[in-house]
Amino acid sequence: MHTIAIIGGGFCGSIAAVNLMRLSEGPLRVALINCGFPVGRGVAYGTRRPEHLLNVAARNMSALADHPNHFLDWLRTRTEYADIPEAVLRETFIPRRVYGDYLRGLLQWHARPIRDGHAASIEFYDKEAVNITLRDGGATVVFADGDSIAADKVLLATGNQRPAAMPGDGAPFTHPAYIDVPWHDWESRLPDRHQDVVLLGTGLTTVDAFLTLSALDWRGTIFAVSRNGLLPHAHFRGIEYPEFPPEDPSALGLNELAVLLEEHCGRLRGLGANPAIAVDKLRPHTQRIWRNWSLADKREFCRRYAARWNVLRHRIAQDVHQRVTTALTDGRLQIVKGTIAALASAGSRVRVTVAGTSGANVVLEAGLVINGTGPQTSFTAGSSLLYRNLLTDGRVVVDELDMGVQVDEDFGVRERDGRRSPVLFAIGPPIKGTLWETTAVPELRQQTYRVAQTMLEECGLGEPAPRLGTTADQELLEYCI
């Protein structure tokens, strides 16, 4: 029997396992290896807090690329969503913990040992994978406890890296009142609720932390620090705008596209519409645009436009945005614009020094500091022992921007000698350098489907998969927006 090992049991790993079960035409064993966050739910959907909402509307959160309404249909099985009118439910931002239940349930269902008369099963390993060595026609996955398993194919679905360490006194900062990984439960470490809190970053994780503090009736001031001081924008109802994008936006270089975008953003503003519509309309083309750009274009985009792009692209539900805006108005939430220069212990509290944009330092002292700066962006600076070993052995190579590992059109990992690995595949955040847009469910579900097809095909257990960028492949992305 063939064995496919998947390292990482968040959205990508779990739904890839589900698709392998759905699509396999013969006996198959899937080994789902996961540690750190709950299997099925991963980092994003492991939260237990009811105030943490999805930032994508329910209509676009199906986990299955070939069943666009799968999540909506599942929601109907729950009493609280059963009677909501279809048009309303489609646009609702569901709590992420409910979405985690959906993913976990889907995984559980497909983990059944017998399917359609042939043996296909998922085995769960609550272990850290630390290395992969190649053997004849396959690989051995080595665990931190010294155990190992043999596999014919291995899928890397390891998710985002932890946030980068913060500068302390010559070493990464640690302190009981400092939360370095914001996705783990931190409510048990809260000080007296009249104390101030500093949130490092002003993105989606900071919004999550603000919502939790608000739900706990926080009385101290909440400071949020970032270089640009930009909070996420709210979702909005779009308008018909067929003038954009042009027929093949992936043929445009960065400068041409930037000029065109500016022009259409201006036109949209003139129509009284939100200019982010132009960003949304590029979404199904983003991966191809990125792949066609030169390295110089990619670098320039990261330097000049990425921060603005992210703010427009990763938006939040309107009522969440309203709560943030109200807190800003009444001073409960304050934005500090500048670079985080250093963190230092101040007894039971933490002192944060921010190099302000005017040149002067701002010093904040808080009973709790949470690192919400987002995943570490330099792949090689990440701390994963697995990747350090794979990089050392040349089993994977970083992309030219050091965002992740290099893959080819069908997610096959490139080795140091430039050849496609016969065994290793990668999807999700670790392939950001190849695709740029590889963060949210609408793109990830497509990857989990296609990589499952490819691995099964190579094991002689399924039909060929459409190659990246082909029409058949593009169809899977069609209902993204």
Ligand X SMILES: Cc1cc2nc3c(=O)[nH]c(=O)nc-3n(C[C@H](O)[C@H](O)[C@H](O)COP(=O)(O)OP(=O)(O)OC[C@H]3O[C@@H](n4cnc5c(N)ncnc54)[C@H](O)[C@@H]3O)c2cc1C
Strand order in 361-366's β-sheet?
178-179, 368-371, 197-200, 222-226, 333-346, 349-356, 361-366
Give the Cα separation of 350 and 353 in Å (integer). Answer: 10
Backbone phi, psi, residue 247, to 5°: -55, -45
Tell which one of 107, 149, 157, 452 touches ligand X (CB under 6 A): 157
Tell which one of 40, 100, 159, 284 touches ligand X (CB under 6 A): 159
Give the Cα separation of 225 and 149 in Å (integer). Answer: 45
The region of 50-58, 237-245, 278-286, 299-307 touching ligand X under the rule CB under 6 A is: 50-58
The region of 131-139, 152-160, 363-371, 390-398 touching ligand X under the rule CB under 6 A is: 152-160
The region of 62-70, 218-226, 257-265, 434-442 touching ligand X under the rule CB under 6 A is: 434-442
Verify binding: residue 55, ligand X, rule CB under 6 A: yes
Q: How many residues bind ligand X (CB under 6 A)?
A: 33
Question: Reduced to 3 states, what is the DSSP secondary structure of residue 422?
Answer: strand
Verify binding: residue 34, ligand X, rule CB under 6 A: yes
Pairing of strands 333-346, 222-226: parallel
Backbone phi, psi, residue 14, to 5°: -65, -45
Question: Reduced to 3 states, what is the DSSP secondary structure of residue 45?
Answer: helix
Decide: 29 and 175 in contact? Cβ < 8 Å: no
**Quick one: 45 or 293, whose CB is closer to ligand X?**
45
The region of 34-42, 318-326, 331-339, 451-459 touching ligand X under the rule CB under 6 A is: 34-42
The region of 40-48, 70-78, 337-345, 361-369 touching ligand X under the rule CB under 6 A is: 40-48
Verify binding: residue 477, ligand X, rule CB under 6 A: no
Verify binding: residue 8, ligand X, rule CB under 6 A: yes
CB atoms within 10 A of CB 119: 13
Identity of the amino acid at 13: G
Decide: 319 and 287 in contact? Cβ < 8 Å: no
- Least Å distance between CB 34 and ligand X? 5
Strand order in 129-135's β-sheet?
129-135, 138-143, 148-151
- Least Å distance between CB 313 and ligand X? 11
Q: Whose structure tokens read 């990992």?
A: 413
Tell which one of 7, 164, 312, 336 touches ligand X (CB under 6 A): 7
Residues 437-476 that bind ligand X (CB under 6 A): 439-441
Tell which one of 3, 4, 6, 11 touches ligand X (CB under 6 A): 11
The region of 49-57, 235-243, 413-421, 453-461 touching ligand X under the rule CB under 6 A is: 49-57
Q: Whose structure tokens read 């009249």?
A: 194
- Least Å distance between CB 437 and ligand X? 11
Q: Whose structure tokens read 């009142």?
A: 177
Closest Cα to residue 99, out of 68, 54, 55?
A: 54
Residues 268-287 that bind ligand X (CB under 6 A): none
**Quick one: 143 or 244, whose CB is closer to ligand X?**
143
Residues 120-149 that bind ligand X (CB under 6 A): 128-129
Verify binding: residue 43, ligand X, rule CB under 6 A: yes
Backbone phi, psi, residue 362, to 5°: -115, 130
> Residues interacting with ligand X, by CB under 6 A?
7-13, 33-37, 42-44, 54-56, 128-129, 157-160, 183, 205, 384, 386, 428-429, 439-441
